[in-house]
Structure 1
Amino acid sequence: MRICKTLIVDDEYAARQELRYLLSQFTDIEVVGEATNAREALALIRSIDYHLLFLDIMMPGMSGLELSTAIRSLPRNPQIIFISAYEDYAAEAFGVDAADYLLKPVEEESLRRALQKVRQRVGIKDVTAQVHVQAPAIDRIPAQTPVGKTVLVPIRDIVFLYTEQSRIYIQTHNKKFVTRLTLDELESRLKPLGFFRAHRCYIVNLKDIKEIVPFAKGTYNLVLNDVQRSAVPLSRHRAKVLRESLGLRRFR
């Protein structure tokens, strides 16, 4: 499998993190750099042989379109996918031979199609774009208590799971545990059992969602059914997925 070294260029931290999470689902894409502006991006591109760039259009200083023109004069010419909150610049983007133009918030299906265009351009064939790992059927998750004992937490008791300061936590209705499994591993195990990746840092048990509360800029908080009534963030992209899963046009 040919690995596509990728750079994300966007001045918004949340947008970079959301895109990085979406790209983590594709086994042939490796995000090896991020930049917040064109100057940082040019320095990285001159030192690393990137195959693919995700470029925001509107950034402080040099725009993504201006950066794409500057890149064309370099010895290495990576493929470019533009990302923007506005449709206005699509014609200009394709005028500089961009592989695709995606609107924010980036949708998973649109991203998949854009990556397939990149693969066709660079001659990559027979690549599995997304992999779903099927874990063995189990009804418990191994975890550790504060005193170092290993316990098996029944999946039916788990309200949500999250990452904080490089540790992965399991929250039941009234207890918290640490697990050595990654969130991606946990998502693969738990998704078929009614769990949902609400945010790159959170997985929730759908049966334990009590309320969906609007927060800001298309995001929400999920109020959960543990003793603390924890509020878990629901990202813009995942909000749309959840609405479609529940058969709703919008949350009221």
Structure 2
Amino acid sequence: MGKRITAVVVDDERFSREELIYLLKEHERIEIIGEADSGEDAVMKALQLQPDVLFLDIEMPKMNGLEVAESLQELKKVPDIVFATAYPDFAVEAFRHEAVDYILKPFEEEPIRETVDRLERRLLNEGSAEKGTIPSKLAVEEEEEITYLTPSEIMYVYRDGRVTKIVDQTRTYETKRSLKEVEQRLEPFSFFRIHKSYLVNLQYVKRLVPWFNGAYHLELRGRDEQLSVSRNYVKELRKQLEL
């Protein structure tokens, strides 16, 4: 049968949780490896079990599904999220949290089949035109618009307080994604972490200038500012840059 998609189902209502598990078990490529009845339990299960996907109820007391999804972005392995809710008004907010899909209660077989198909194309890459490809754009949402940035035009990325800022050749964008998540999405491209708060596109590096105590400053083509390079990253940075 090949590889299966591991899943955790999260819902504070037992009946809804059991109903969704029953419908998902109709699909042999989905393997239910856990369930959770609260947002806090969902985070713990994600840490312990490292599933491929969480089927996540949005309306839960204390810690709702949107808050769970935000917390999970800090994990080393960030699971895909499929939100579940009785209220279609949550759709826009769900996709702001990078949801793969969105299913409505009461659950129906056909929407769940479509969701499973989408997960199989995404996670198993079998029989899909997407096989072997790398996403070519980084999506940045601003108010009601989504801007798609070409990675080769991004010069550097840094964390500023509670937002991550993405600097390209013309302007600076803001995203609520963590720096770690942006780093993971840019991994196929020529980005390198030079500091705990900075990623830089190596294509734009112009000069490495000694500073003090083993640290350096980095100059980029077309930019006036200098970026700090932590001494912990200098050796590996030079290996990446030099022939």
Q: Distance in 1 between the 2:89 and 2:41 partners?
A: 25
Name 2:82's counterpart in structure 1: 81
* Structure 2 contact 85–104 (Cα < 8 Å) conserved: yes
* Structure 2 contact 33–49 (Cα < 8 Å) conserved: no
> SS of 1:25's equivalent?
coil
- In structure 1, runs of 5+ residues without a counterpart are 128-252
Q: Give yes or no for the alignment of 1:3 onto 2:8.
A: no
Q: Distance in 1 between the 2:116 and 2:14 partners?
A: 22
Name 1:93's counterpart in structure 2: 94
Deviation for aligned residue 1:122: 2.0
Q: Distance in 2 between the 1:94 and 1:121 partners?
A: 16
Which amino acid counterpart does residue 10 of structure 1 have in structure 2?
Answer: D
Name 1:106's counterpart in structure 2: 107
Deviation for aligned residue 1:23: 0.8
* Structure 1 contact 4–29 (Cα < 8 Å) conserved: yes
Name 2:118's counterpart in structure 1: 117
Which amino acid counterpart does residue 50 of structure 1 have in structure 2?
Answer: P
4+ long deviations beyond 4 Å: none
> SS of 1:39's equivalent?
helix
Which amino acid counterpart does residue 89 of structure 1 have in structure 2?
Answer: F
Name 1:34's counterpart in structure 2: 35
Cα deviation code 1:30-87 (max 9, x no counterpart): 1111101111111111111200110000001111011001001111111111000101
Deviation for aligned residue 1:126: 4.5
Which amino acid counterpart does residue 39 of structure 1 have in structure 2?
Answer: E
Q: Distance in 2 between the 1:72 and 1:63 partners?
A: 15
Deviation for aligned residue 1:121: 2.0
Scaled by the length of structure 2, the TM-score of the pair is: 0.51
Name 2:58's counterpart in structure 1: 57
RMSD across aligned positions (CA): 1.3
Deviation for aligned residue 1:93: 0.6
Q: Give yes or no for the alignment of 1:43 onto 2:62.
A: no
Q: Distance in 2 between the 1:104 and 1:68 partners?
A: 19
* Structure 2 contact 56–84 (Cα < 8 Å) conserved: yes
> SS of 1:11's equivalent?
coil
* Structure 2 contact 54–82 (Cα < 8 Å) conserved: yes
> SS of 1:125's equivalent?
coil
Q: Distance in 2 between the 1:46 and 1:25 partners?
A: 26
Count of residues in correspondence between the two structures? 127
Deviation for aligned residue 1:123: 3.9
* Structure 1 contact 2–124 (Cα < 8 Å) conserved: no
Which amino acid counterpart does residue 102 of structure 1 have in structure 2?
Answer: I
Q: Distance in 2 between the 1:105 and 1:123 partners?
A: 28
Cα deviation code 1:165-185 (max 9, x no counterpart): xxxxxxxxxxxxxxxxxxxxx
> SS of 1:27's equivalent?
coil
Deviation for aligned residue 1:20: 0.9
Which amino acid counterpart does residue 7 of structure 2 have in structure 1?
Answer: T
* Structure 2 contact 4–29 (Cα < 8 Å) conserved: yes
- In structure 2, runs of 5+ residues without a counterpart are 129-243
Alignment of 1:204-243 (within 5 A): none
